[in-house]
Amino acid sequence: MKRLSILGSTGSIGKNTLEVISRNPDTFKIVALTARNNISLLESQIAQFNPEVVAVFDGSEAERLRSKKLPVKILSGEEGVIEAATLENVDMVVSAIAGSAGLMPTLAAVKAGKTIALATKEALVMAGSIIMAEALKRGVKIIPIDSEHSAIFQCLNGRDIEEVKRIILTASGGAFLGKSASELESVTPEDALNHPNWDMGRKITIDSATLMNKGLEVIEAYWLFNIPVEKIDVVIHPQSIIHSMVEFIDGSILAQMSVPDMKGPISYALSYPHRTENVMPALNLTDVAKLTFEEPDHEKYPSLSLTYDALKRGGTMPCVLNSSNEAAVEAFLNKRISFTAITRVVSKTMAEHSVLKGETIEEVLSASIWARQKAEEIINETEN
């Protein structure tokens, strides 16, 4: 039986993970769950899965949960989440905390030698060199949960990376695929949150609409698969059936396909190298009928160019890209700035950053704090 700690159990990935686990009670055991502040949902998860430990990032909400006198050890704050990620009797940590808050618990789990099922791409975007070096030193396996990286992981399947010509990440295009760049000036958060294919968290859904999420996945792929940025391409695929592809030097392409359901890549990560039955509905290609592809419009989606630039400049620049984007997306969701201002805030923040090597976690965290503060200054100027 595989013993698991789920970081971010009340989010979209966390809930899907627990659904997969609930179908396989003889295969997986929940040791720990963590959440930011959704204690009502966390309480129901405690009742269903009977973990030994839970951690609530928000200290006041942790106290509220303690007042309920539940039969579980309750931790709080980032320290509590890190403790849940490093428990001695945990075999695998599912890293599913949204955004930069997942960096330190993920790094701690790697240092503790845990196998990582990774959905928190921001950990690699911010500190990819540090995390991958620690994983190599400790022999830690990092198995991707993002559908695109799971697809690449499955297509590579131990093949020689020297035989890979390029990897091709597919993008749905988000909620605004059919809109022109000028039409995006007036879209609302409610419009942007209406994703055509996937049911995801709010932040990642906005990132999907700007294509920033795909840019962050480019950076994640660079670290996961040790492949040059010049060999990582993006293509728009509105049907979200092909989750990504690998092209080899002989001209052949392998693609991984399924219905757009996150339980597929989650189940594969949890069960690797095996597969489990009846995870999601089977794909019927005659029902799909047509698969289409197009090149991304870099004028409409400037975030893609920003992410490639950040990766090429290296050091702390990807961290600054990520943290300034988090601040800008939050401002858009709170209706402080327009949709198109998101990438303008990120671009201006990057332009003012003096790149550091990012060889220590202290440098990375400092760059993240600086980026959020600088982005907030730019947001305030945009509002005024």
Say yes or no to pLDDT of 278 above 90: no
Which candidate, 158, 124, 156, 160, places its Cα nearest to that of 142? Answer: 124
> For residues 184 and 323, which has the higher predicted lDDT (pLDDT)?
323
C-alpha 257/C-alpha 275 separation (Å) is 15
Per DSSP, the chain holds a count of helices (H) and strands (E) of 16, 11
221 SS3 class: helix
Q: Is 338 helix (H, G, I), strand (E, B) or coil?
A: coil
Cβ atoms 89, 316 nearer than 8 A? no
pLDDT at residue 198, as a whole number:
63
Q: From the CA atom positions of the chain, what is the Rg in Å?
A: 20
| Span 223-256, pLDDT tens digits | 999 999 999 999 999 999 999 999 999 999 999 9
Mean pLDDT estimate for the chain: 94
382 against 20, higher pLDDT: 20
Q: How confident is the model at residue 179, as a pLDDT?
A: 82
| C-beta atoms surrounding 292 within 10 Å | 8
Do residues 277 and 23 touch, judged by C-beta distance below 8 A? no
Positive/negative CA dihedral, 132, 135, 140, 146: negative
The predicted structure's pLDDT at residue 384: 57
Strand partners, 13: none
What's the pLDDT band for 184 if we cut at 50, 70, 90? confident
- The per-residue pLDDT for range 98-111, each reduced to its tens digit, is 889 999 999 999 99
The model's confidence at residue 197, banded by pLDDT at 50, 70 and 90, is: low
Q: What percent of the chain has pLDDT over 70?
A: 98
pTM: 0.94
- Give the Cα separation of 111 and 177 in Å (integer): 41
Residue with tokens 């930069």, as numbered in its chain:
100
Across residues 146-172, what is the average pLDDT?
A: 95
User: CA distances (Å), 24 to each of 30, 63, 266, 299, in order?
Assistant: 11, 32, 13, 46
Task: Show the CA angle centred on residue 59, arms to residues 53 and 61, nearest 5°.
Answer: 80
Domains located in the chain, CATH noted:
2-144 (3.40.50.720), 145-258+269-309 (no CATH), 314-384 (1.10.1740.10)
Residue 228 and residue 355 in contact, taking contact as beta carbons nearer than 8 Å: no
Using CA atoms, how far residue 289 sits from 239, 241, 284, in Å, is 10, 11, 9
Least confidently predicted of 13-17, 20-24, 181-185, 373-377: 181-185
Residue 190's pLDDT is 87
pLDDT at position 204 is 85
Interval 31-69: pLDDT, tens:
999 999 999 999 999 999 999 999 999 999 999 999 999
Phi, psi dihedral angles at 116 (to 5 degrees): -115, 125
CA 73, CA 94: separation in Å to the nearest integer? Answer: 19
Q: Rounded to an integer, what distance in angstroms lies between the CA atom of residue 72 and that of residue 139?
A: 32
